Amino acid sequence: MKNIKKIVANALNDSSEMYLHDIVDHGIHNLTNNFHGDNDDEYASFQNEFSRQAVEKISLKHGYEK
């Protein structure tokens, strides 16, 4: 099984804030096909993890804690 959290963390490493906002606002399907997953559930897991980590990174950049 793929370690989706680690894959997403590596993909978002050093991402611009604009890219992070694009993920949150539009989802990954508008940005890349590299993380489609092997089925719908895996794709949804990638999408959810990208959104979660993007929000976390944006919050940290602006000094907000969880």
Non-local CB neighbours of 50 within 8 Å, separated by 6+ positions? 8, 11, 12, 23, 27, 28, 35
Band of residue 32 on the pLDDT scale cut at 50, 70, 90: confident
d(CA 1, CA 19): 27
Look up the pTM and report it. Answer: 0.86
Predicted confidence (pLDDT) at residue 66 exceeds the cutoff of 80: no
Average pLDDT score over residue span 25-43: 82
Q: Where are the domains of the chain?
A: 4-61
